[in-house]
Amino acid sequence: MLNSNKKTMNNPAGAISIKPDERGVRSVVFRALGSSCKINFIQPDEQAALKFLAEALSWLETFEKKYSRFNPKSEVSQINAAAGIEWVKVDHHMEHILDLINDLHRMSEGILDPTTLPLMKVWDWKTVHTEIPNKEVVDAALMLTGWKKVQRKPGAIFLPHKGMGIDFGGFGKEFAVDHLIRIAHQNGIADVLVDLGQDLFALGGNGLHPFWHVGIQDGRHKDKYLGGLAVSGFAVSSSGDYERRFEHDGVRYGHIIDPRTGWPVSNGMCSVTALAPSCLQAGVLSTTVFVLGREKGIAFATRAQDVEACIQDDRGTEKTPGFIDKQVQAA
């Protein structure tokens, strides 16, 4: 998990002004995509700052309404409701997302799979703490997953089996981070940190240093940190079981499900923090490495280009040389 210094603001949408701090940084904190989010940026001009923020939050609101499975009117919900029944027409924006999923599925060697919604429902965190689902239930849900089962044709998609469903939670925040950074660039903002639920990208610096300081939480101890990163011009994403995990009959269960088995990852991994040129790439890498485990995960990360990683498991912590180079001691 990541934690960056911020000034809190409770209601950005209704804010009349966002006063800069002593470094000139304007900060806004809000909830979106089911997560605590923030945008820190430097823009001396008040009206220009408000214009950027309005564009960013408006785009984010539209994105969430359109692609969240929790919105019954979203395109994703319409696709899920028609599973096993009929084809669903999609616009060119959804077509782009679906094409992107093809690339991410291939890039992650099948680990990133948005059709795992049936498994997510089986492993419902509101009930699973007291009763572990049996193998038959998990296997039945697993049969309803698999991105390669999804049928597509120009302008339409079909989930062939009733009970199938898609969820963009595995990459939606990362996609949004990258887009908000583009909005910042279009508004001439050179110093900005966009953090959506600890998936983040930073440009420029924090007004004191030519970078933004981001803390890396210890995957084994929520109140401790492994150190800090000097982030500028790249993205950071972490995957781990430190936020949602429990033990049942001596077995530790996290919230990240292995799409190959249908069961939560249980390979001794605690956390993976990845650095990459885009948040989408960093997110895919961190999740894939976490699911693969230390040896296969390190091999996967090594094959990837322009990425660095910090892997923490029951045996200790391992960092790539490039990751170590980006560590700092203080903000």
Tell me which CATH code domain 75-158 carries.
1.10.3980.10
pLDDT at 34 over 60: yes
CB-CB contact of 53 with 184 (8 Å)? no
Residue 303: Cβ-neighbour burial (10 angstroms; 0-12, 13-18, 19+): exposed
pLDDT classification of 7: cutoffs 50, 70, 90: very low
pLDDT in the model for residue 266: 85
**pTM for this predicted structure:** 0.90
Least confident of 42-56, 147-161, 164-178, 246-260: 246-260
Mean pLDDT of the chain: 89
As a whole number of Å, the end-to-end CA separation of the chain is: 17
74 versus 220: which is more confidently predicted? 74
Q: What is the pLDDT of residues 137-195, one digit of tens each?
A: 999 999 999 999 999 999 999 999 999 999 998 899 999 999 999 999 999 999 999 99
CB-CB contact of 288 with 307 (8 Å)? no
Q: What is the pLDDT of residues 188-197, one digit of tens each?
A: 999 999 999 9
Rounded average pLDDT over 202-213? 96
pLDDT classification of 15: cutoffs 50, 70, 90: very low
How far lies 271's CA from each of 124, 239, 290, 326, in Å? 21, 6, 7, 18
Determine how β-strand 2-4 pairs with β-strand 25-32. Answer: unpaired
User: What radius of gyration, in Å, describes the C-alpha atoms of the chain?
Assistant: 20
pLDDT in the model for residue 221: 67
Percent of the chain predicted with pLDDT > 90: 69
What is the Cα–Cα distance from 202 to 204, expressed in whole angstroms? 7
pLDDT classification of 321: cutoffs 50, 70, 90: confident
Q: Are the folds of 2-44+190-328 and 75-158 the same?
A: no
56 versus 16: which is more confidently predicted? 56
Ranges of each domain in the chain = 2-44+190-328, 75-158
State the amino acid at position 50 in one-letter form. L
State the amino acid at position 42 in one-letter form. I
Rounded average pLDDT over 32-56? 95
Question: Which superfamily, per CATH, for 2-44+190-328?
Answer: ApbE-like domains (3.10.520.10)
Q: What is the pLDDT of residues 288-318, one digit of tens each?
A: 999 999 999 988 988 888 899 999 998 999 8
